[in-house]
A and B are shown apart, each in its own frame.
Chain A
Amino acid sequence: MIHIKQLKKSYGEKQVLAIDHLEVPSGQSFGLVGNNGAGKTTLFSALLDLIRLSEGSITNGDVDVSKSEAWKEFTTAFLDETFLIGYLTPEEYFYFIGDLRGLSHSEVDAFVGQFEHFFHGEVLKQKKYLRDLSKGNQKKVGIVGALIGSPSVIVLDEPFANLDPSTQIRLKELLREWSQQKGVTLLISSHDLQHVTEVCERIVVLDKGEIVKDIKTQTETLKDLETFFAQKSQEA
């Protein structure tokens, strides 16, 4: 589904991302881990054509993202709060995305309705604008917004951060279910090694902009990762 070739991104002299080759097949749930500054958000931003590559190319479903905008039809994302419109109510925000993705209001209502459990009664019909919701609830809105319109590629940056423990568990279930049943390519990044190993079938570790590990998730993966990052903390 996604092919990255000879990708390089640098700011002036400083190289922040260098990926020679990375391929994410269709339907895979793909996890990206790494310390701060490893290049996770940069990679996702590049995939969404929010930043320009210095070299190389990224194709998403045969579309070179820097040349055509056709990838937008089947790709959704939630990276941070700049993906939310603060002065809308959650309902209006969902309708807005639904409108752009060709869903009627009743279809959006029905779709969003199934996340009532995930929202824990704190999001819908609260008579609040998104800007007045807590960080955690904003995140829930952003994640559900990114699921609207049956996308085949979903990109979520740090979906577990800022969520309370119960919601993290619900989100894990939701993402696992979503990636298995609907056959979508799911790309998430996380600092939480346990969550990411539970959700993703493949995990790639970025360090200083380069891929240092690419593993198919198994029972010992979590231990592997913990050992790796423990070593990193010794180095530094």
Chain B
Amino acid sequence: MEQNSIYTHKMMFQFVSLQWKSFTRSASFSTHLAMKILIGFFALYFAATFAIMGALVYPFIQNEMALDPLLTVNQFLIYGCFYWVVLRYFIQKTPVVNIAPLLLHPISKNKIVHFAMGKTLSSAFNWLGLFFTVPFSIVLVVEGHNWGGVLSWFVGVLSFVLSTNYLNLLINNNNKVGAIALSVLAVLGGLHYVDVFDITVYSGPVFQALYEHPIAASIPLILLVFLYRAAFSDYKKGMYLDGGLARQQTEAKTQDFTWLNRFGKTAVFLKNDLRLILRNKRSKSTALMSFFFLFYGLFFFTGSVAMYNGPMWFVFAGIFISGGFLFSFGQFVPSWDSAYYPLLMTQNTSYREYLNSKWALIVVATVFSWLLSIPYIYFGWDVFFFILVATVYNIGVNSYLVLWGGAYIKMPIDLTSNKKAFGDKQAFNVKTVLLSIPKLVLPVLIYFLGTLYSEQLGLALVALTGVLGLAFKNLVFTTIERIYVSQKHKTLWAYKQK
């Protein structure tokens, strides 16, 4: 028995050391590290915000809103939970452990799965919430609430948060669930907003019960155990080479896209890009994800978020709305082709043709997003113009910026990642956000400079920048092409390191 536990510790140490090596020895280690540091800052920021909120929300609700603080918080907790699930689904990475090489060694499958699932607990999503609940609970006790009730409330809420962790693991195998959760959130929020149906009337008492009847805390605890076991058995089932570790074979359909032929040599690559998007899970979910960017504008134009009011934010929103595909897919050109980059580099073609087709794809998707965004006219003509101007800017400037940046990113994308039971299926992650920042800030800045004179000039300047970008396309492409050529060997090398 003693022997066994020493052995287990050794093994855990091995697992951790393997993880550490895969991180430090990765080809894009410095990029990863820089990302981690930036993400760390974000986490710190959120932790601080949550802590302040947790401490101040009680007096705020009591004094400013004249409501019962605990009741009010409980009422809105359901939205918090939904929001957490959605946020996790889109941002939190599922744990990646290279399983296949471990299968033959004397390590029980249970241990591998327990380790991988335990590892997810280290995610900021699990403990960030504590920065809110801990100070809030303390304030509750200080303000004279029954400490036993507060403790069971705290345990209950924590269990809910951790439950969403394992729920996320479960649903990560299913692309539809994330979309459904997001839709449910949108519908509930919408119904609440227009006073048709208020879910908080039903959910509030549930959370309140955690405080009033400590025994109720056992329900989320049971839920947590249940979800853990469900995720556990789900992953364990996948631990066979012909099970979850295997690639799913689908019957191939030949797609010719002959209607694209009119675009000459660009069409050759365009066809492949379409097949790339349609036939690989990773790129498919990325393309689908860009669709959700369209709804981002609702935060800004409905005036529902007070902070987002003001024309400066409208430019921001416009860039986001029309640039969904540009940000989520475009930013990872040419990494999408990393698996067969040597082929492209030896074929009878030039970088310009290759880049042109990627650019065309981005432009078409941007225009398409703009067409879909036309219903925003509902919020006024000025909103329409903001999005139109932002679209022009996206086409004329940001489309080049993503291609230009792509030459340096050099992160191989494994389209057919099949060796990992806990594959990295995230289409939209923190990296996307970080890379997007300059592309969002610059147009806002240009707009701001114009508004020093008048709002119209602001818009005109942004649009003009976009048009100028388009006019100088050849010049810009020559520059970008030169960068790609100069980066060619480094890129080939980086793509080899998987």
Which residues of B lie under 8 Å from residue A69 when comparing CB positions?
350
Taking the nearest CB of chain B, how far is it from the CB of A54, in angstroms? 12
Given contacts A82-B342, A92-B275, A96-B272, are A101 and B492 in contact (CB under 8 A)? no
A75–B347 CA distance with the chains assembled, in angstroms: 8
Pick from B249, B272, B345, B493: contact of A88, CB below 8 A: B272
Instruction: Flag whether B66 is at the interface (Cβ < 8 A).
Output: no
Q: For A75, A80, A82, A149, which residue has the most chain B Cβ atoms within 10 angstroms?
A: A82
Other-chain residue from B251, B254, B268, B496 in contact with A99 (beta carbon distance below 8 A): B268
Of B253, B272, B348, B496, the contact of A85 (CB 8 Å cutoff):
B272
Cα separation A79 to B339 with both chains bound (whole Å): 13
Distance in angstroms between the alpha carbons of A92 and B271 in the assembled complex: 10
Any B CB within 8 A of the CB of A185: no
Closest to A48 in B: B346
A73 proximity list for chain B (CB < 8 A): 348
Q: Is the CB of B343 within 8 A of A101?
A: no
How many angstroms from the CA of A69 to the CA of B346 in the assembled complex? 9
Assembled-state Cα–Cα distance A102/B265 (Å): 10
The yes or no answer to B415 lying at the interface (CB within 8 A) is yes
A77 to B280, CA, bound (A): 26
Is B341 an interface residue when CB atoms closer than 8 A count as contact? yes
Give the chain A neighbours of B36 by CB distance below 8 A. none
Write the B455-498 contact mask toward A (1 if CB under 8 angstroms, else 0): 00000000000000000000000000000000001001101100
Q: Verify B268–A50 contact, CB threshold 8 A.
A: no
Q: Is B276 interfacial (CB 8 A cutoff)? A: yes
- Give which listed residue, A51, A102, A128, contacts B492 with CB less than 8 A: A51
In angstroms, Cα B492 to Cα A79, docked, is 14
Most chain B beta-carbon neighbours within 10 Å: one of A86, A102, A127: A86
Given A92-B254, A96-B272, A132-B247, answer yes or no on A84-B340 (Cβ-Cβ < 8 Å): yes
Does B252 have its Cβ within 8 Å of any Cβ on chain A? yes
Q: Check A83 against B340 for contact (C-beta < 8 Å).
A: yes
Q: Nearest chain B CB to A49's CB is how many angstroms away?
A: 7
CB distance from A63 to the nearest CB of B (A): 13
**Which residues on B sit within 8 Å (CB–CB) of A48?**
342, 345-346
A72:B348 contact, CB within 8 angstroms? yes
A82 contacts B341, C-beta separation under 8 Å: yes
Q: Looking at the complex, which one of B254, B268, B345 makes contact with A96 (CB distance below 8 Å)?
A: B268
> Is B279 part of the binding interface, using a Cβ–Cβ cutoff of 8 Å?
yes
Most buried by A among B252, B255, B268, B415: B252
B183 partner residues in chain A, CB cutoff 8 A: none
Taking the complex as formed, is A129 at the interface, i.e. its CB lies under 8 A from any CB of chain B? yes
B412 to chain A, nearest CB (A): 11
- Shortest distance in angstroms between A140's beta carbon and chain B's nearest beta carbon? 16
Q: Does A232 sit within 8 A of B, measured CB to CB?
A: no
Known: A51-B489, A69-B350, A77-B346. A82 touches B249 (CB 8 A): no
Chain B residues with CB under 8 A of A131: 247, 416
Q: A194 vs B492: C-alpha distance in the bound complex, in angstroms?
A: 33
Q: Which of A3-57 contact B (CB under 8 A)?
A: 48-52
Residue B4 interfacial (CB < 8 Å) = no
Q: How far is the CB of B451 from chain A (nearest CB, A)?
A: 47
The answer to the question of A222 belonging to the interface, with a C-beta cut-off of 8 Å to chain B, is no
In the assembled complex, the Cα of A85 lies from the Cα of B247 at a distance in Å of 16
Q: Which residues of B contact A49 (CB under 8 A)?
A: 345
Q: Which residues of A contact B255 (CB under 8 A)?
A: 92
B245-267: CB near A (< 8 Å → 1, else 0) gives 00101111111000000000100
In the complex, A88→B493 CA distance in Å?
A: 24
CB distance from A147 to the nearest CB of B (A): 14
State the Cβ distance, A211 to closest chain B Cβ, in Å. 24
Query: Is there a chain A Cβ closer than 8 Å to B349's Cβ?
Result: yes
Closest Cβ neighbor of B264 among chain A residues: A99
Complex contacts, A50 vs chain B, CB 8 Å: 342, 345-346, 489, 492
- Expressed in whole angstroms, the minimum distance between the Cβ of B264 and any Cβ of chain A is 10
User: What is the minimal beta-carbon distance from A68 to any residue of chain B, in angstroms?
Assistant: 11
Interface residues in B326-354 (C-beta closer than 8 Å to A)? 339-343, 345-350
Cβ proximity bits B272-290 to A, threshold 8 Å, 1 near / 0 not: 1001100110000000000
Find B249's partner among A83, A101, A132 (CB 8 Å cutoff): A132
Q: Is A174 an interface residue (CB 8 A)?
A: no
With A83-B340, A87-B280 already in contact, the answer to whether A129 and B346 are too (CB < 8 A) is no
Cβ distance A197 to chain B, nearest Cβ, rounded Å: 27
Chain B residue numbers with a CB within 8 Å of A132 are 247, 249, 252
Q: How far is the CB of A220 from the nearest CB of chain B, in Å?
A: 36
> What are the residues of chain A within 8 A of B340 when measuring CB–CB?
82-86
Q: Is A89 an interface residue (CB 8 A)?
A: yes
Contact indicator B249/A128 (Cβ below 8 Å)? yes
A79, A87, A88: the one within 8 Å of B342 (CB): A79
Please encode chain B, from 10 to 47, with 1 for each CB lying within 8 Å of some chain A CB and 0 for all others. Answer: 00000000000000000000000000000000000000
Closest residue on chain B to residue A92 by CB atoms: B254
Q: Does A215 contact B (CB under 8 A)?
A: no
Q: Are B346 and A52 in touch, CB under 8 angstroms?
A: no
Interface flags for A140-176 (1: CB within 8 Å of B; 0: not) read: 0000000001000000000000000000000000000
A132 to B265, CA, bound (A): 28
Tell me whether A184 is interfacial, beta carbon within 8 Å: no
Interface check A76, CB cutoff 8 A: yes
B248 to chain A, nearest CB (A): 10
Query: Cβ of A2: which chain B residues have Cβ within 8 Å of it?
Result: none
Closest to A101 in B: B348
Q: How far is the CA of A76 from the CA of B348 in the complex (A)?
A: 9
Question: Roughly how many angstroms separate A129 CA and B280 CA in the complex, as a whole number?
Answer: 11
| B55 shortest CB reach to chain A, Å | 52
Residue of B251, B272, B275, B343 with most partner-chain A CB within 10 A = B343
Name B residues whose Cβ lies closer than 8 Å to a Cβ of A. 247, 249-255, 265, 268, 271-272, 275-276, 279-280, 339-343, 345-350, 415-416, 489, 492-493, 495-496
Q: Which 10 pairs of residues, A with B, have the shortest CB-CB distance?
A: A87-B279, A99-B268, A83-B343, A82-B342, A52-B489, A72-B348, A129-B252, A89-B252, A100-B347, A85-B340
Contacts beyond the supplied A50-B342, A96-B272: 11 A-B pairs with Cβ under 8 Å: A49-B345, A51-B492, A51-B493, A72-B348, A82-B343, A86-B340, A86-B415, A87-B280, A97-B347, A101-B348, A127-B252
- 7 interchain pairs, CB-CB under 8 A: A50-B489, A76-B346, A80-B342, A86-B416, A99-B265, A101-B348, A102-B348
